[in-house]
Amino acid sequence: MSAEATNPEAHPEARPELRRRGRSRIDLRRLGRAALLGPTSRDRLPDAIGHVAEAHRAHHPDADMSILRRAYLLAESSHRGQMRKSGEPYITHPLAVTLILAELGAETTTLTASLLHDTVEDTDVTLDQVRAEFGDEVCFIVDGVTKVEKIDYGAAAEPETFRKMLVATGNDVRVMSIKLADRLHNMRTLGVMRPEKQARIAKVTRDVLIPLAERLGVQALKTELEDLVFAILHPEEYESTRALIAAHAGERDPLPGIADSVRTVLREAGISAEVQVRPRHFVSVHRIARQRGELRGSDFGRILVLVGENADCYGVLGELHTCFTPVVSEFKDFIATPKFNLYQSLHTAVATPEGYVAEVIVRTRQMHRVAEAGVVALGNPYATATPDATTDPDEERVDPTRPGWLSRLLDWQQSAPDPDTFWTVLRAELAQDREITVFRADGGTLGLPAGASCIDAAYAQHGEAAHGCIGARVNGRLTSLSSALSDGDTVQLLLAQDASSGPAAEWLDHARTPAARIAISSWLEAHPDRAMATTTAARAPLSVVGARGGGANAVADLPDATVRLAGCCTPVPPDAVAGFLVRGGAVTVHRIHCAAVAQMRAVGRTSVAVHWRATADCRVTLLAESFGRPHLLADLTEAIAHEGVEVVSATVEPPVEGRVRHTYTLQLPDAAGLPALMRAMRDVPGVYDVGRA
């Protein structure tokens, strides 16, 4: 940690958004002097943690500060004599990290662990000492952070470092909270590092830590990390954005006036609300400038409306849309459908009579705390755990608030075959910024990234057993495994009975989740011959034609006319039918409800009366959908023959994703036997659907 720190004054231009927000900044030099003075009397807090105590009391007025005092004294004494590269006493680093978390509203246990997060790694303090002095909960978190920090941040070690971080976060999300605050402070103080090392650290922060902050909902850390990374990796664009913001500062800002108008509207409506103007941070301004080109004064910030209850949010929305001109395309309801990172708000935009368009965010105060601090604002997610849940540092605890994306990452990281694959897939997974929920046929749910397919659902539900998945029903309708799923879909997955079934190489083109991609790739590597077979060109359909054909048993009231039964609806006695005269003087016969009947009438085809012959025999075309397996064609033709039906022709298409489609043209001695024939075909093992063509 200390290797990534330096004097904050050496890189002041990377922190302007904090000055604009008015957030307090810890004075490392003053803290350093306070730390060097040593401990204070037992009846008062050390001056060095006065900032932390003040920020903590703002969120938790009844918090016991004595534990923070004891944690600080242990951290200060154990780090005494250690210095950061910038020259400050090392204790200033855990103090700064703890202040960041205190400002976000972290509970006392997290702050205590934050003060001690480097002691076990960098000093003679042991985990047993931490447990004896501060309890199992603090020890568990410190141990999780220590396991992450034991590995250097070299290029080769980076994937394994983040694998450990992921596991530690799964055991306790507060580990990641401390890690993010730790990285934020190190990024704030990165100025004296060599440019190439600054760039390497900034890239890792951009690719992994910023997406993790987004997923955990810690927007306050995410936005500042984005600006710091922006300043290092894109200095020219950063400078142009800074100049753009500076030029706007000298112009008239319309947002305060719009905010006053909003306050007036809500006051007259009897809605108690707090209205603020929230300046955009640097990266946000840069994105808006790229989208809209030339910026207007109202583009440099947004209006935030805070209310007490959920219902008030919609009341505010109604007043805004009544008294201003709403921009309909900008409305989003994240209260009814929260984001996967717990974020809830109403987003809208309104146009003023002066021609300005102002974006407005409406949320409750509790939503605001969660929007800013994410999981940090939720306190201790393990408060209801059993007393023994933290006694074993290596035991994974069940987190009732663990989001689905974190569970997925924890599952697939165990099967990632090598560090490079893990690193590549981790960054791809974190790049997904939206999640959907689909319902399983048994009533359970699956959390999947947006754009996930039935293949992803199969591996999420069945693990490696999904190798034998050959189809799915989505919302009751049969569909291919490559079909993309939407939020709220119900998916029923069809598994082959053949245990040797495996995935096709084409599945990788449609798999979005790391678990699915890794499982498919591993199977294909283990079965190279089978993988090669799945990629060969499709063969021509296998066709079997019977020895004799049969004439149509429909008669048209037109002398010498040739009668043809339509292949689109395959009418059989006693179906109600309609006949139409077509080219060549032939009469084509359709079932009365066939879609082609309306088309024939629309184009003016001559209608011809048709009736069935007295004979009961008929010809019909049936489609059979089945799972691929050996001897299936033989079993189906045997079932057909057992019903006394003659096969006129049969076509078997090549397997697609493990499914086979059969088309049979059959001559029945009696049309009344058709239902029994279709039941007999469905009873053949592997056949899951039989229908008329």
Which residues does the annotation mark as catalytic?
121-122
> Measured between alpha carbons, how far is 238 from 231 in angstroms, rounded to an integer?
5
Q: What are phi and psi of 278, to 5 degrees?
A: -110, 110
Cα separation values, 388 from 143, 391, 393, Å = 16, 5, 11
- Take residue 679 and report the two structure tokens written for it: 């039941």
CB 109 within 8 A of CB 177: no
Distance between CA atoms of residues 482 and 471, nearest Å: 9
Phi-psi sector, 383: left (phi>0), alpha (psi -120 to 50), beta = alpha
The 10 Å Cβ neighbour count of residue 393 is 16
Report the relative pairing of strands 301-307 and 357-364 from DSSP bridges.
parallel
Give the β-pairing of 542-545 and 646-652.
antiparallel
User: How large is the greatest C-alpha to C-alpha distance in the chain, in angstroms?
Assistant: 118
Quote the CA–CA distance of 452 and 436 in Å, as a whole number.
Answer: 8
Nearest to 333 by CA among 347, 319, 321, 349: 347
Cβ within 8 Å of residue 603, ≥6 positions away: none
Q: Name which of 132, 140, 163 is nearest 150 in CA terms.
A: 163
List 490's β-bridge partners, or say none.
Answer: 439
- The contacts of residue 647 (CB under 8 Å, 6+ apart) are 544, 546, 637, 640, 641, 664, 665, 666
Task: Give the pairing of strands 325-326 and 332-333.
Answer: unpaired
First-to-last alpha carbon distance for the chain, in angstroms, is 69
Alpha-carbon distance of 525 to 505, in angstroms, equals 10
Strand partners, 279: 301
C-alpha radius of gyration, the chain, whole number: 34
Output helix, strand, coil percentages for the chain, rounded to the nearest 5. Answer: 50, 15, 35
Closest CA to 152 of 162, 142, 144: 162
Q: Are 433 and 212 in contact (CB under 8 A)?
A: no
Beta bridge partners of 275: 305
Query: Which position has the token pair 């047993």?
Result: 128
Distance (Å, whole) CA 557 – CA 611: 8
Long-range contacts of 155-162 (CB under 8 A, 24+ apart): 155/200, 158/204, 158/423, 159/419, 159/420, 159/422, 159/423, 159/426, 160/419, 162/208, 162/423, 162/426
CA distance 21 to 301: 12
Q: How far apart are CA 67 and CA 49, in angstroms?
A: 12
Secondary structure of residue 152 in the 3-state scheme: coil
Residue with tokens 């004064």: 297
Q: Alpha-carbon distance 202 to 187, whole Å?
A: 8
Instruction: Identify the DSSP state of 324.
Output: S
